[in-house]
Amino acid sequence: MSLVREFSLESWMTQRLSEVEQALDNWVSTQAPAGLAHAAPVELVHAMRYAVLDGGKRLRPLLVLASFEALSPGEKSPGQSAALRAACAVELIHAYSLVHDDMPCMDNDVLRRGKPTVHVQFGQASALLAGDALQALAFEILTPSDGSVAADTQARLCALLSRAAGSSGMAGGQAIDLASVGHALSEQHLREMHQLKTGALIQGSVLMGAACASPSPEALSGLTAYGESMGLAFQVVDDILDVIADAGKLGKTVGKDAQNDKPTYVSLMGLSKSQAYAQELLASALSALEASGLRDTQALSALAGMVVNRGH
């Protein structure tokens, strides 16, 4: 009998997702955080919870946790509480970006994960405020005053998240995206746009997981390269799915990119080259893991495969 247990992504994910959902449910709540006089107003929190607790895939939190666990494979590692907070903080940033992105002045999308978008359900003003409050909440979660996360880890996580979310990251990529509608982009420009828009937060997830442990330079450089390939792969596959998936599975409007005259990998490279490119990026991600010198990378490998070969 082999002592090496087969890694099951499904059972790994089930356990992690349950922790993440529970934590998000606790932290996006009307309860006043410890040490604060005021609880958040109920109406606002309803919109925030609607935006977050909706059965998203939670890819970013899973990447945070998988990255942390590759560096700290034991049970009850010291950074575990920080990693769970980082996982949820990244998801809050992702959730806020979807709320704002769906608004009429942006993509004007009415359907998200099979449900009416936040502004359809609560009105535009509440959607705007809920998104704003979710961004702030991400940094609240990263900076607990209960001693559960070391101050230098808190500072490092805030540094990574703010840069991944801001004008040199996600928000910057969205601005390029906005400016690019109806314009032809070179492959180089398209890649740069996506490196910011989607890649920065996906790579940031991997780096935030690492920041909860103490990576060697070799490990950090491998994880950084893994994160970069994953960020690009995610967007390439997203563009492919916008063309080939059906709306029921995707849970959002299909064909929006073409309708909006948005440049995508598929419009630029064609479908089959885009599919080949996604596989190349998967191979790069896996070889970056090998180069990292880390042994416990099963979850990271499996997540890479899942991202590239997903059907929705």
Minimum distance from residue 134 beta carbon to a second copy (Å): 8
Cβ proximity to a second copy, 139 vs 269, nearer residue: 139
- The residue from 62, 84, 137, 282 that contacts a second copy (CB under 8 A) is 137
C-alpha dihedral, 241 to 245 to 251 to 256, nearest 10°: 60
Could you say whether residue 145 binds a second copy (CB under 8 A)?
yes
Q: Please state, in angstroms and rounded to a whole number, the distance separating the CA atoms of residues 292 and 284.
A: 12
Minimum distance from residue 262 beta carbon to a second copy (Å): 13
- The residue from 15, 22, 25, 41 that contacts a second copy (CB under 8 A) is 41
Minimum distance from residue 64 beta carbon to a second copy (Å): 18
State residue 278 phi and psi, 5-degree precision. -60, -40
CA angle 88, 93, 96 (to 5 degrees): 120
Answer for the pair 206, 64: CB distance below 8 angstroms, yes or no: yes
Minimum distance from residue 1 beta carbon to a second copy (Å): 48
Minimum distance from residue 121 beta carbon to a second copy (Å): 14
State residue 279 phi and psi, 5-degree precision. -70, -35
Q: Please state, in angstroms and rounded to a whole number, the distance separating the CA atoms of residues 72 and 74.
A: 6
Could you say whether residue 210 binds a second copy (CB under 8 A)?
no
Q: How far is CA 131 from CA 74, 82, 96, in A?
A: 36, 23, 4
Cβ proximity to a second copy, 138 vs 285, nearer residue: 138
- The residue from 53, 179, 184, 247 that contacts a second copy (CB under 8 A) is 179
Q: How far is CA 186 from CA 260, 277, 284, in A?
A: 18, 16, 22
Could you say whether residue 79 binds a second copy (CB under 8 A)?
no
Could you say whether residue 129 binds a second copy (CB under 8 A)?
yes
- The residue from 13, 64, 86, 196 that contacts a second copy (CB under 8 A) is 196
The amino acid that residue 188 corresponds to is Q
- The residue from 135, 274, 284, 297 that contacts a second copy (CB under 8 A) is 135
Q: Residue 145 corresponds to which tokens in the numbers above?
A: 């005053």
Q: Please state, in angstroms and rounded to a whole number, the distance separating the CA atoms of residues 173 and 200.
A: 9
* Interface residues toward a second copy, by CB under 8 A: 32-33, 36, 38-41, 43-45, 48, 96-97, 100, 103, 105-106, 123-126, 128-129, 131-133, 135-140, 142-143, 145, 151-152, 154-156, 158-159, 161-163, 165-169, 171-172, 174-176, 178-179, 192, 195-196, 200
